Amino acid sequence: MPVRLSLKNITVAVKTALDEDVGSGDITTRCIARPADRAAGVIRAQAPGVIAGVLAVKEVFRQLDVRVKVRAMKTDGMPVRRGEVLIRITGPAAPIIIGERTALNFLGMLSGIATITAQYVKALRGTKTCKTRIFDTRKTPPGLRGLVKHAVAAGGGCNHRMGLYDAVLIKDNHIALAGSLAEAIRRVRKGLGSRKRCIEVEAEDMDQVGTALESGADIILLDNFPPARIREAVKLIQGQAVVEVSGGLELKAIKAAALKGVDRVSIGALTHSTPWLAMHMELE
């Protein structure tokens, strides 16, 4: 289910970013700008990609000065070309200059995530029978999870659980703590009681895949399985559970994994190491 980007997510993230950048005030702009100075600027893409983060840009300038007008030429999820104008900004000059870097930081980072996600999604389109979907993970910049998961969705990807509170995922340390995978699943079922929850299990070998199946897991995550083992696991599972693959899959390997009957591919790199989409703001 796509993460619903709340106004609170944006407001808090932007306030934190402005506090660390502006602090007690922009010394340089304070000395140069006059109260009556006005400006008009545009944000341009310096590379092709997919845009995300427009609402964050609007919030940056809203918090700095409500008189600044921000007009988006593109909305989140739309493709952009190099040199294309994405956003036009007009109003008092000082807040426009002060907010430039914070606005570009949000837009560049989130658009980078949307762009790489779109590339992974595109890699799955080699066959009409391919139903594999790209998912994100919890490997996100602290405090920005809502925004970066929104960017993944803007790029055509799917959102995994938002946090520890909204889905069950039994991982290696849970298994070690319980003593076995079967015992971990038993404890989860007991703890959930009558509450209906999808149970996902992280399997590190074929024995754990078998145990997950016998215990009735809904989703089996094949963690760092080589291609041959992925095929073996898919054959064993035979549609009895959703098959998810995770662990170091590069873009070129995604299509091959999809054709082996995998339902989901979760990729931490979408949100923890994606290059930003280059862009800049210039005054007209």
Walking along the chain (284 residues) 10 residues at a time, the average pLDDT comes out as: 74 97 96 96 98 97 98 97 98 98 98 96 72 93 95 96 94 97 96 91 97 96 91 94 88 73 92 95 94
Q: Does 169 lie in the same domain as 73? A: no
Of 62, 101, 187, 255, the active-site residue reads 101
Q: Does 39 lie in the same domain as 139? A: no
- pLDDT value of residue 249: 78
Q: Does 251 lie in the same domain as 115? A: no
Query: Which domain CATH number covers 28?
Result: 3.90.1170.20
- pLDDT value of residue 129: 54
Catalytic (active site) residue 171: yes
Task: Specify if 2 maps to a domain.
Answer: no
Catalytic (active site) residue 161: no
Task: Specify if 183 maps to a domain.
Answer: yes
Q: Does 152 lie in the same domain as 232? A: yes
Task: Specify if 141 maps to a domain.
Answer: yes
Of 59, 100, 223, 263, the active-site residue reads 223
Catalytic (active site) residue 223: yes
Q: Does 232 lie in the same domain as 133? A: yes
- pLDDT value of residue 3: 60
Task: Name the domain count of the chain.
Answer: 2
Of 171, 187, 189, 260, the active-site residue reads 171
Are 202 and 174 in contact, with CB atoms under 8 Å apart? no
Q: Does 260 lie in the same domain as 162? A: yes
Catalytic (active site) residue 202: yes
Task: Specify if 1 maps to a domain.
Answer: no
Query: Which domain CATH number covers 179?
Result: 3.20.20.70
Residue 129 CA to residue 140 CA, distance in Å, equals: 31
Q: Does 154 lie in the same domain as 267? A: yes
Task: Specify if 85 maps to a domain.
Answer: yes
Of 133, 138, 139, 197, the active-site residue reads 139
Q: Does 222 lie in the same domain as 211? A: yes
Q: Which residue in this structure is represented by tokens 């609170």?
A: 8
Task: Specify if 104 maps to a domain.
Answer: yes
The tens digit of pLDDT for each residue in 87-138 reads: 999 999 999 999 999 999 999 999 999 999 999 999 887 655 568 899 999 9
The range of the structural domain enclosing residue 48 comes to 7-119+274-283
Task: Specify if 132 maps to a domain.
Answer: yes
Q: Does 200 lie in the same domain as 161? A: yes
Task: Specify if 88 maps to a domain.
Answer: yes
Q: Does 167 lie in the same domain as 107? A: no
Q: Does 92 lie in the same domain as 207? A: no
Q: Does 52 lie in the same domain as 178? A: no
Catalytic (active site) residue 101: yes
Are 14 and 63 in contact, with CB atoms under 8 Å apart? yes
